Amino acid sequence: MQHGKYRFIAGFLVLPLAIYAIFVISPFVQAIYYSFTDWTGLSSDMRMVGFDNYTRLFKDSVFWASVGNSVTLLLLLPVVTLSLGLFFAFMLNVGGRRRKKAVIGGVRGSGTYKILYFFPQVLSIPIVALLFQFAYNPESGALNAFFNAIGLGGVQPDWLGDPQLALWCIMGAMIWANVGFYVVLFSAGMSSIPKDFYEAALLDGANRFNTFFRITLPLLWDTVQTGWIYMGILALDVSAFAFVQIMSVGPGGPDYSTEVLPLYVYQKTFRDGQAGYATSIGVSLLIVTLIFSAIVMRLGRRERLEF
Amino acid sequence: MSVQTKPPAVTGRGGAGGKGGKSGESGEGRVLNVFSHGVLVIWGLLVTMPLLWAVVSSFKDDGEIFGSPWGLPSALHFDNWARAWDKANMGQYFFNSLVVVGGSLIGTMLLGSMAAYVLARFDFPGNRFIYFLFVGGMGFPIILALVPLFFVMKNMALLDTYHGLILVYIAYSLPFTVFFLSGFFRTLPSSVAEAALIDGASHTRTFFQVMLPMAKPGLISVGIFNFLGQWNQYLLPTVLNVGDPDKKVLTQGLVALAVSQGYKGDWSGLFAGLTIAMLPVLGAYIIFQRQVVAGLTAGALK
């Protein structure tokens, strides 16, 4: 049994670890180092500049605009997406009218709804982003054409071109893309809640509102929390980058109204040749992410309900 | 798409009360049913309309797209599709995505399950450390690593190559894969593996012939998760795969197409390209939707 065990372990671990160390770990460590240099990213010379990059952050108004937008996304996106997901999932699984024997049940056709709602989740972000970009297009887009058709021809917003609206438009697309996943996820969670809990509640005369807040939500709390963190990371990182980069004018505009932290890191590196400064923005993004996860963990810590 | 037939039938039933009304379901229930069906149908329309709109638009000519965004095409312009596939390189991008995702999916599953198996079922010094090293990768913002990663790839001459992209996809898929699969391997009974070892199978053989087949449900879940994630990957290729226009993957190619057709004013070609990228994934999802949903929710419920 022990014979050759360590050779086997080493043999199985060496390749995955090597790939992971080269392409994931080492870049992360390097990033932190680069954030203390004045590296341009174009040549190999760089100088240690201590905390200069970080003090520069404080005076950079675009940085603060992107912090503001990222935090807005971070706060609103999970709330709206998860609430819609919970609401629909409840409707589909518990909210239906009661049939003969079943104590609880979803509305009719709930299976079909779940399949439909999940559609956006399998599409890539560029597809969704481009789709919405066309829909928002002020001249030929579906939205303004719809306003025309219902007699609101006078209301023709500039959507993505309007600094007041642009971020909300992008957020709309992100919500659209993610709600379906949570409907399905929460549905799976809800179906594992024992039926007799609902039976007892119904006997006590609970209505749907009470059922949801007293039974479904508390028992689903772990899943909601996982979803919250997952959605928060999307709002800060990859997803926000892709949506803003593809949809917004500039990108990041108009007038930095949609600039977000990951996009700013990208632009500073590959457009402005300030890789050192860019990594210090990245480090601040990491800090925001860590604070966010810590808060969610802390807020979410409550008695675990066993069933 | 056949999705349109569903909603009207559903709304009709809300108030009519085909079989309900008997079991103490009061007025409140009925009102709520009409309401809830209404809301559900509206979201269903919100989800499907943009997709249908894109498909319909891909058959129109440019004049119709601008003139009547909501109208049906007067004739089916299949030439849009042909143009997008050939001239706008969508065919090539599709092929690139297939190669990259095919390679990285195989690599991710193989390396991920090997690492997860060892970490889950063997005691050795450093086990916990390596496990957390892998799992920690799930929470960090990828964008932070991208700048140095670009130069790591550059020094290794891996930029703009299939195998370079494959390696990076594997590396960034490992954290979740290892996390999920090691949880899965831990739940498998150890008696079977011990029996195999006593019968004289080596550790390697036990892994490939006994443990891996037993872990099939978990492998499928992770496989679907990784497939969707890698197929839809946009950030990594946007940074690491920019030198050679013919090496672009589908997501990148689509955005490049949007930019170039935007300049040329070829909107119908653009919608056709979008539809080409969209329909295969949607089709595959509809066929395998049970597995897809089970796979993705298993991952997130963990």
| A269 contacts in chain B (CB < 8 Å) | 146-147, 150
Q: Which two tokens stand for residue B184?
A: 């899965």
Considering only CA atoms, which of A225, A234, A241 is closest in space to residue A289? A234
Report the sign of the C-alpha dihedral through residues A241, A182, A223, A299, in that order. positive
Q: Is residue A42 one of the residues assigned to a domain?
A: no
Helix (H) or strand (E) holding A194: none
Q: Which two tokens stand for residue A14?
A: 């060496």
CATH code, A131: 1.10.3720.10
CA–CA dist A289, A284 (Å, integer)? 9
With cut-offs at 50, 70 and 90, classify the pLDDT of residue A302: low
Angle B267-287/B250-264 helices, nearest 10 degrees? 150
- Candidates B19, B20, B147; nearest CB to A278: B147
CA–CA dist A179, B237 (Å, integer)? 26
With cut-offs at 50, 70 and 90, classify the pLDDT of residue A80: very high
Q: Is-contact A53 A36, C-beta < 8 A?
A: yes
| A242 contacts in chain B (CB < 8 Å) | 234-235, 238
CB distance A97–B29 less than 8 Å? yes
The residue whose two tokens read 């390696």 is B167
3-class DSSP state of A54? helix
Is B130's Cβ below 8 Å from some Cβ in A? yes
With cut-offs at 50, 70 and 90, classify the pLDDT of residue B20: very low
CB distance A270–B292 less than 8 Å? no
CB distance A289–B141 less than 8 Å? yes
From the CA of A164, how many Å to the nearest CA of chain B? 23
CA–CA dist A247, A240 (Å, integer)? 11
Q: Is residue A108 one of the residues assigned to a domain?
A: yes
Q: Is-contact A269 A275, C-beta < 8 A?
A: yes
Give the mutation candidate from A3, A7, A24, A144 for the B interface (greatest B CB count, under 10 A). Answer: A24
- Per-residue pLDDT at B21: 37
CB distance A4–B202 less than 8 Å? yes
Tens digits of residue pLDDT in A219-258: 888 888 888 888 888 888 888 888 988 888 878 778 788 8
Give the mutation candidate from B118, B144, B275 for the A interface (greatest A CB count, under 10 A). Answer: B144
Q: Is-contact B297 B70, C-beta < 8 A?
A: no
Tens digits of residue pLDDT in B145-178: 888 898 888 888 888 888 889 999 999 999 989 9
| Distance in Å from the first CA to the final CA of chain B | 34
3-class DSSP state of A96? coil
Q: Is residue A35 one of the residues assigned to a domain?
A: no
CA–CA dist A123, A60 (Å, integer)? 36
Q: Is-contact B181 B111, C-beta < 8 A?
A: no
Report the sign of the C-alpha dihedral through residues B136, B140, B144, B149, in that order. positive
Considering only CA atoms, which of B76, B2, B10 is closest in space to residue B42? B10
From the CA of B112, how many Å to the nearest CA of chain A? 7
pLDDT for residue B109 is more than 90 = yes
Q: Amino acid letter at B172?
A: Y
- Candidates A11, A145, A278; nearest CB to B70: A145
From the CA of A15, how many Å to the nearest CA of chain B? 7
| A265 contacts in chain B (CB < 8 Å) | 143-144, 146-147
Considering only CA atoms, which of B68, B102, B76, B129 is closest in space to residue B223? B102
Q: Is-contact B223 B177, C-beta < 8 A?
A: no
pLDDT for residue B15 is more than 70 = no
Q: Is residue A247 one of the residues assigned to a domain?
A: yes
Give ∠ CA A165-A169-A173 in degrees, rounded to 5. 170
pLDDT for residue B144 is more than 50 = yes
Which residues 96-115 of B have a C-beta within 8 angstroms of A?
111-112, 114-115
- Per-residue pLDDT at A307: 58
Within B58-161, residue ranges assigned H as helices are: 62-67, 79-86, 90-121, 127-136, 142-155
- Candidates B117, B134, B152; nearest CB to A22: B152
Cis peptide before B213 (omega within 30 of 0): no
Considering only CA atoms, which of A218, A228, A216 is closest in space to residue A182? A228
Is A211's Cβ below 8 Å from some Cβ in B? no
From the CA of A56, how many Å to the nearest CA of chain B? 18
- Per-residue pLDDT at B31: 59
**Average pLDDT over chain A, rounded to an integer:** 82
pLDDT for residue B23 is more than 50 = no
From the CA of B193, how many Å to the nearest CA of chain A? 11
Quick one: what percent of chain A has pLDDT higher than 70?
A: 90
Quick one: what percent of chain A has pLDDT higher than 90?
A: 11
pTM for this predicted structure: 0.84
CB distance B234–A23 less than 8 Å? no
pLDDT for residue B14 is more than 70 = no
Higher-confidence residue of A256 and B182: namely: B182
CB distance A97–B281 less than 8 Å? no
Tens digits of residue pLDDT in B37-68: 788 888 888 888 888 888 888 887 777 776 66
CA–CA dist A80, A109 (Å, integer)? 24
ipTM of this complex: 0.84
| A112 contacts in chain B (CB < 8 Å) | 6
Higher-confidence residue of A48 and B98: namely: B98
Q: Which residues contact B198 (CB under 8 A, 6 or more apart)?
A: none
CA–CA dist A96, A86 (Å, integer)? 15
Which residues 32-91 of A have a C-beta within 8 angstroms of B?
34, 41, 84, 87-88, 91
- Per-residue pLDDT at A304: 58
Residue range of the domain that includes A191: 61-300
Write phi, then psi, for B78 (nearest 5 degrees). -70, -20
Q: Is residue A169 one of the residues assigned to a domain?
A: yes
Q: How far is CA A21 from the centre of its chain?
A: 26
Q: Is residue A44 one of the residues assigned to a domain?
A: no
Considering only CA atoms, which of A122, A127, A177, A184 is closest in space to residue B228? A122
- Per-residue pLDDT at B11: 34
- Per-residue pLDDT at A104: 63
Which residues 225-244 of B have a C-beta within 8 angstroms of A?
228, 231-235, 238-239
pLDDT for residue A269 is more than 90 = no
Tens digits of residue pLDDT in B196-222: 888 888 888 888 888 888 888 888 888
The residue whose two tokens read 């079943």 is A102
With cut-offs at 50, 70 and 90, classify the pLDDT of residue A79: very high
CA–CA dist A66, A64 (Å, integer)? 5
Q: Is residue A220 one of the residues assigned to a domain?
A: yes
Bridge partners of residue A48, in order along the sequence = A37
Higher-confidence residue of A141 and A182: namely: A182
Tens digits of residue pLDDT in A140-177: 777 777 777 777 766 777 788 778 788 898 999 999 99
Tens digits of residue pLDDT in B226-266: 998 899 888 888 888 887 778 888 888 888 888 877 767 77
CA–CA dist A238, A284 (Å, integer)? 16
With cut-offs at 50, 70 and 90, classify the pLDDT of residue B111: very high
With cut-offs at 50, 70 and 90, classify the pLDDT of residue B103: very high
CB distance A135–B278 less than 8 Å? no
Give the mutation candidate from A88, A92, A130, A150 for the B interface (greatest B CB count, under 10 A). Answer: A130
- Per-residue pLDDT at A106: 65
CB distance A126–B282 less than 8 Å? no
- Give all domains of chain B, ordered by start, each with its CATH number: 93-249 (1.10.3720.10)
Task: Look at chain A and report how many structural domains it folds into.
Answer: 1
Q: Is residue A16 one of the residues assigned to a domain?
A: no
CA–CA dist A40, A158 (Å, integer)? 37
Q: Which residues contact B94 (CB under 8 A, 6 or more apart)?
A: B250, B276
Nearest residue of A to residue B115, measured between CA atoms: A13
Q: Is-contact B269 B80, C-beta < 8 A?
A: yes
CA–CA dist B43, A182 (Å, integer)? 14
